[in-house]
Amino acid sequence: MTDNLKKNINLIKKKLSSFECNPKYSFFFKILICALVFIPFNFAMASPEFEAIKILPTKEGGQSYTVTLQILALMTSFTFLPAFLMMMTSFARIVIVLSFMRQALGTMQTPSNQIIVALSLFLTMFIMGPVFDRIHSDAIQPYLDEKITFPQAFEKAAIPMRSYMLKQTRESDIALFLRVSGRNKPINTPDEIPFTILIPAYSISELKTAFQIGFLIFIPFLVIDLVVASTLMAMGMMMLSPMMISLPFKLMLFVMIDGWSLIIGTLTSSFYLGP
């Protein structure tokens, strides 16, 4: 252990001497190098029974990780939450459709991006509620009660997510990614589709559906723009912006038909969440 300590000290001296030419940052570099050198040394000096990195075999032949490693894995998984929210839930379809609606109305930044994202988040919570409830009852709660292990909880949580995504994904998109991946192993049941294939296929299907709904939203407002532009052209008012004249008519139409209820109702019903 003395030889290792001497090697660490010599390494520190050598590294510190290389930063003497940078007096502005040398102090911070010295602290960083000391930490990087001594942290592995401290782990080497620690007891082999150190609980933070212990992996124990289970009765079923698997492996059980300490709580510290489980917390580390959980905190690391939090970095994937934005991608999970956008690509594995109903959020992408909702936010794209609402953005199309704003462009069709021609109201520029009204409603603002913050309002659209907030509304999309709450609608996502409403639509994904049954899925999240099932994940909580089948995976999270048994894991908190120490009835199942962390890997088992992860597998049980994947079942309702897979079921939801399969209901919203087109078979043609799944076939596309299966063909591109060059997968030789045949797939007999939908449950055998790996998430590496299902997630991109689901994302593409969501984008297709969102653009289809956006196209249907654009049609009535496009008709109003064409009528107003033709009227202004016939009256010789070519210098007057058709957008400025058509905006009140589009807002009036949107309010009279209760547009918010129609769009939100159609959007939420477009997700098939049946058994």
Run means of pLDDT, 10 residues per run, the chain, 275 residues: 54 51 47 48 44 52 57 69 80 91 85 90 89 88 80 84 88 87 77 86 91 90 85 77 81 86 86 64
pLDDT number for residue 62: 53
pLDDT number for residue 143: 79
pLDDT number for residue 171: 87
Q: Which residues pair with 99 in a beta bridge?
A: none
Single-letter code of the amino acid located at 78: F
Taking each helix axis from N to C end, the angle separating 242-256 and 259-269, rounded to the nearest 10 degrees, works out to 70
Q: Are 60 and 149 in contact (CB under 8 A)?
A: no
pLDDT number for residue 204: 92
Taking each helix axis from N to C end, the angle separating 242-256 and 91-105, rounded to the nearest 10 degrees, works out to 130
d(CA 148, CA 138): 10
Backbone angles phi, psi at 63, to 5 degrees: -130, 145
pLDDT number for residue 89: 87
pLDDT number for residue 157: 86
Query: Three-class SS string for the chain?
Result: CHHHHHHHHHHHHHHHHCCCCCCCCHHHHHHHHHHHHHHHHHHHHCCCCCHHHCEEECCCCCEEECHHHHHHHHHHHHHHHHHHHHHCCCHHHHHHHHHHHHHHHCCCCCCCHHHHHHHHHHHHHHHCHHHHHHHHHHHHHHHHCCCCCHHHHHHHHHHHHHHHHHHHCCHHHHHHHHHHHCCCCCCCCHHHCCHHHHHHHHHHHHHHHHHHHHHHHHHHHHHHHHHHHHHHHHCCCCCCCHHHHHHHHHHHHHHHCCHHHHHHHHHHHCCCCCC
pLDDT number for residue 37: 46
Taking each helix axis from N to C end, the angle separating 150-168 and 195-234, rounded to the nearest 10 degrees, works out to 40
pLDDT number for residue 50: 44
The model's pTM: 0.68
pLDDT number for residue 226: 86
Nearest to 105 by CA among 228, 261, 209, 246: 246
